[in-house]
Chain A
Amino acid sequence: MTSVATGTDLGERATLHRRRYTDRKSIIALLLFLPPSLILFTAFVVLPMIDAATFSFFDWNGYGPITDFVGFENYADVITHRNFGTAVRNSLIVVAVSLLIQLPLAMWCAIALAERGAHINLIRVLFFLPYMLAEVAAGLIWKFVYDGNYGLLPAIGGAIGVDMPFVLGDKLWVIPAIMLVITWKYFGFHMMIFIAGLQSIPNEVIEAARLDGVKKWQIVRHIKIPMIRSAIVISVFFAITGALQLFDLIIPLSNGGPSHSSHTIVTFLYQFGILRMKLGFGGAVSVLLFIACVIVALAYRRILFKVEQN
């Protein structure tokens, strides 16, 4: 990034006057181009995060001066909160389901749909459609599907003679039901990333293997999947961070219920921090969530490194 002599520099050096002129222009341009995003990003993304960390050490309700320093008390409150464990557990279940069910399904679809063709394009777009849908809409659609009185699930159950429970009102069933919605909503997104990866594999590699008599499954396992590693790395990263942030989908589906059994970390933050304006408590949840995300990101240094390289 240091300014080594390039063609431009040589040109600039031709006259000192012109070089100065260009430098002044660079500075004016920088002063115009950089501040808007830097100021907005700092003011509304970075500082609130720092504030959250600060608030987490105080007992503050959001009004008046911040005075009551309580040390790590808020953190203790969060960790010992009787619903926090459930929220963390649920978020981890979302991570696990995303990695173990959603991504393999996406990979399978991607391998089947990586070739071009009219039907195939139609199916791809169809699979991607739920991702484009607002979480709130997706949640309400599925709330209807699951509705115990009028929904699709009890209708299907009735048709095959099985009495279906009110899944979203049932502590046992609510989590699997939500996981199904998550898979429905997001597998198409990962499928698209995998398809892009698969299409970047040179045809010759696959053809050569095929001519050598390598079986289809072995091609997938030993050639295709290893060659799209970077796409998989990206997908896993999105899947984990997305799972840790899950909020919009839960609110319309179950609102964290029944009896707080389906909270994720963010709905927990909303329910017990934001709605009750407990800034210290909410701040502590935020910091814990932030730490979790940073750990994931550090584990994924490769991605970050590449981002910086670009």
Chain B
Amino acid sequence: MAVTSKKRRPVISPVQWISLMVVVAFVIVPFYTTALGGFKEIGELRVNPFGLPASWDTVRFAEILGGPRYFSSLGNSLLIAGGTVVLSTLVASMTAFALAHIKFFGSRFILGYLMLGLLFPAATGILPLFIKMRDLGMLDSHWGIIIVQVAFSVSFSVLLFHNFFKELPKELIDAARMDNCGYIRIYWYITLPLCLPIIATVGVFNFVGSWNSFLLPLIVLNSEAKYTWPLGIMQFQGQYGSDWPRILAFLTLSILPAIAFFLLAQRYVISGLTGGAVKG
């Protein structure tokens, strides 16, 4: 093995490296200019697109951080994403547990029914959903968004949990049942602690999905004070038009937490993605 692994080293040829660097530049340049653009004067953007700013002018950042919108929109997003993650983890893991561990007539049908959600885009039902939420008094409320996002996430989350639960050693569950342990206790004391990695993966996915979601909050929320950050940034852009340094500063400040979160959570994101792909 040692010999073969040595042999496998020089796999990336110089030509490949150079073309990879082109792709790296393609990916990185928009981030780079965004991060620096917030410090530059508007005229400077055009004259000096790639260089460092002439003066590291932090006034826009300070203004945004001191303003009312930034923290409230991030707070709203945090609340909604947090609520969505907690609820969807609970709801989906319970259902997946029942489908994976309790034998009953129709379990296969229920799983198939829930998987229908993977078939069509949630956007197709958005207009009737709006009517329904209006009639139920769920408009302009964070709870309304959380509940609907949990519903949207059911298919994917149940799928991931179900795949994982199926692979837990059956003996464990059987042994607990022999000891007269009820399913609810098995779920809570045995299965959940064993499935922390998949909880993390599902949680990260739902968090990111909720944090980034745009169409649903756009349709549901009216009052600015309740805006999530994607709505906040769109509104900010609408208000400041082409004042790019200001918009880029806002973008940078909004993307930084997301990037930090991603770097912390990437292990779970990637394992979820690749786990699902390999199994699929």
Contacts and interface: CB of A to CB of B under 8 A. Distances in A.
Contacts of B91: 36-37, 40
Interface centre among B24, B104, B148 (most CB of A within 10 A): B104
Given A44-B152, A310-B162, A55 B127 contact: yes
B27 interface: yes
Contacts of B120: 49, 289-290, 293-294
B158 to A, nearest CB: 7
Given A40-B150, A184-B27, A279 B127 contact: yes
A234 B229 CA distance: 31
Given A29-B182, A245-B121, A152 B29 contact: yes
Given A32-B184, A46-B116, A286 B124 contact: yes
| SS class, residues of chain B in contact with chain A | helix
A218 B184 CA distance: 54
B273 A140 contact: no
B95 A34 contact: yes
Given A129-B27, A293-B120, A38 B94 contact: no
A193 B98 CA distance: 29
Interface centre among B115, B162, B280 (most CB of A within 10 A): B280
Interface string A41-67: 101111111011001000000100000
A101 interface: no
Nearest to A60: B131
A227 interface: no
A80 interface: no
Nearest to B136: A43
| SS class, residues of chain A in contact with chain B | helix
Contacts of A245: 121, 123
A49 B117 CA distance: 11
B95 to A, nearest CB: 4
B129 A155 contact: no
Interface string B117-134: 111111111111111100
Interface in A162-199: 184, 188-189, 192-193, 195-197
Contacts of A306: 280
Interface stretch (A82-90, A92-100, A120-128): A120-128
Nearest to A310: B163
Contact of A45 (B151, B187, B278): B151
B31 A207 contact: no
Contact of B4 (A49, A156, A207): A207
Given A49-B120, A184-B27, A41 B266 contact: no
Contacts of B7: 210
B230 A283 contact: no
A252 B234 contact: yes
Nearest to B269: A132
A30 interface: yes
B244 A34 contact: no
B71 interface: no
A256 interface: no
A106 to B, nearest CB: 10
Interface in B208-254: 208, 211-212, 214-215, 219, 229-230, 233-234, 237, 242, 244, 247-248, 251, 254
B159 interface: yes
Given A49-B120, A141-B251, A307 B274 contact: no
Interface string A295-310: 0010000011011101
A136 interface: yes
B103 A3 contact: yes
Contacts of A7: 174
A126 B24 contact: yes
A184 B22 CA distance: 12
B80 interface: no
A145 interface: yes
A3 B125 CA distance: 37
A34 B29 CA distance: 48
Interface of A: 1, 3, 7-8, 11, 18, 21-22, 25-26, 28-30, 32-34, 36-38, 40-41, 43-49, 51-52, 55, 62, 105, 109, 112-113, 115, 123, 125-130, 132-137, 140-145, 147, 149-152, 154-156, 158, 184, 188-189, 192-193, 195-197, 200, 203, 207, 210, 230-231, 233-235, 241, 244-245, 247-248, 251-252, 266, 269-270, 273-274, 279, 282-283, 286-287, 289-290, 293-294, 297, 303-304, 306-308, 310
A-B pairs with lowest CB-CB distance, top 8: A196-B274, A48-B125, A51-B128, A29-B183, A134-B212, A44-B151, A155-B49, A33-B98
